[in-house]
A and B are shown apart, each in its own frame.
Chain A
């Protein structure tokens, strides 16, 4: 199981990593702090799961979400964000990706991580 976590917050990266490793102890986790760093991982990796934050320095995660869906059509991809405005949620749901609201995301993330 290979998972990409895109979030500028090390606090959130560590929270997600802890939940992922509890479910998949042998999983390989790749971290990216912004959308550019995330795209650099696209060349050499095949991911099963991707979580993307929305509000990050530079480009927001909404743009990356579209690219990730194109690059990994068989992966499960989620926008995991504190920005819970209806407009953003609707845009995400139209893509077929999951929308996971912060801050209490543990249960939603565990459900998302089901194969």
Chain B
């Protein structure tokens, strides 16, 4: 199913709205403004995913993934460059985090961030599209994005790619946000988009 310009913009606006809702909570948590990108939306071959995010082929990244459960299946994923998350950990998890327990605390902190963002986005698109979707527990991985995708979330063929990014400058924190669905789920999602947009009765 191909979407026209307004339908594509509707999808982008749904995710833009969800990220905006998440940014309110996130900015209160980190006590700083969260800079947001404009959403991208496209159908791409799964092997081209790494070309659409700002990480190199050999870069080790930390991902936090939450499964989508309900009327729409798939995965929401945050990709964090494997950079220094110590400031983030100190801000939202524990003031006295030391190097010996940083890995666990870092996963906890990044999972917290991912949970805020993905849950707001899922709540928002469920509301826009009149569907019922929940999120599973966050799962953390650290590897190259290609290996994580191959070993944990391999989706063959064409996938729906919805990508955004956010940044908190004071914490040196940035991440890419992806929603990945396979072809069957994508068709259902796009049908919901068309139906929901018709209710707006726009020219």
Contacts and interface: CB of A to CB of B under 8 A. Distances in A.
A55 B167 CA distance: 14
B20 A87 contact: no
Nearest to B197: A11
- Size class of the A contact interface (CB-based, 8 Å): 20 to 34
B27 interface: yes
Contacts of B38: 8, 55-57
Interface in A81-102: 81-88, 102
Interface of B is mostly: helix
Interface residues of B, number: 27
Contact of B24 (A10, A15, A85, A102): A85
B20 A83 contact: yes
A11 B6 contact: yes
A86 B24 CA distance: 7
A31 interface: no
Interface string B133-159: 000000000000000000000000000
A9 B9 contact: yes
A55 B24 contact: no
A14 interface: yes
B2 to A, nearest CB: 16
Contacts of A15: 200, 202
B142 to A, nearest CB: 30
Interface of B: 5-6, 9-10, 12-13, 16-17, 19-21, 23-24, 27-28, 32-34, 36-38, 128, 197, 200-203
